[in-house]
Amino acid sequence: MQLVFATNNRHKLEEVEAKLQGEIKLLTLNDIGCYDDIEETGTTFKANASIKSQHIYQKYNMNCFGDDSGLEIDALNGEPGVYSARYAGEHGNHAANIKKVLDNLKDAPNRKARFRTVISLIWNGEEHFFDGTVEGTIRTAPSGTDGFGYDPIFEPDGYNVTFAEMSMGEKNSISHRAKAMEQLLAFLSNT
């Protein structure tokens, strides 16, 4: 069984491949010759995930999935949310995004947050959604060097380390993306 993952994000690919453990042959956009810049114009994770998977399915007619993920912070009314990757302006500037979050939370007593992932799977022409969430808090300063994005400031509930201080295996056992992928794998195992 093979499945296209509609992303060029190397970190996401590594996490998903580790979760799949060879059960499914994962194809990247490069593998299928897709070099399109798929714009995330949705206002929800679900909409953006769907945009990616629909684009691939309509153009290549291949079973595929896309995801959208982000950080939701209670004290910031759910920000950065769908704008997580470009919260400070430039897309993918992790240091600037982290700085903006920490600046915006400077005196906030409530630092509760969650990472959320929504996956849109198009399987034999039908779209299915899977949602994963991990609750936690935002640290006052970055800690750790692994992971990507907001991992250095996100401490999942029940742990005293950030995602960036965990191995990929540890993070993949509890992360939002891992939870959504587990649902996707359970669905595929029943098809």
What's residue 81's pLDDT?
A: 97
Catalytic annotation on 157?
no
What's residue 9's pLDDT?
A: 83
The CA distance from 88 to 100, in Å, is: 6
- Domain boundaries, given as residue ranges, for the chain: 2-189
- Per-residue confidence band for 15, with pLDDT thresholds at 50, 70 and 90: confident
What's residue 103's pLDDT?
A: 97
Q: Per residue in 150-180, pLDDT tens?
A: 999 999 999 999 999 999 899 999 999 999 9
> Residue 131: beta bridge partners?
118
- Per-residue confidence band for 14, with pLDDT thresholds at 50, 70 and 90: confident
- 147-181 residues labelled b (16+ CB within 10 A) or e (exposed): bbbbbbbbbbeeeeebbbbbebeebbebbbbbbbb
Active-site residue, selected from the candidate residues 68, 74, 107, 151: 68
Q: Which of these CATH numbers, 3.40.50.360, 3.40.50.150, 3.90.950.10, 3.30.9.10, describes 2-189? A: 3.90.950.10
The CA distance from 73 to 101, in Å, is: 9
The residues near 110 (Cβ < 8 Å, ≥ 6 apart) are: 74, 75
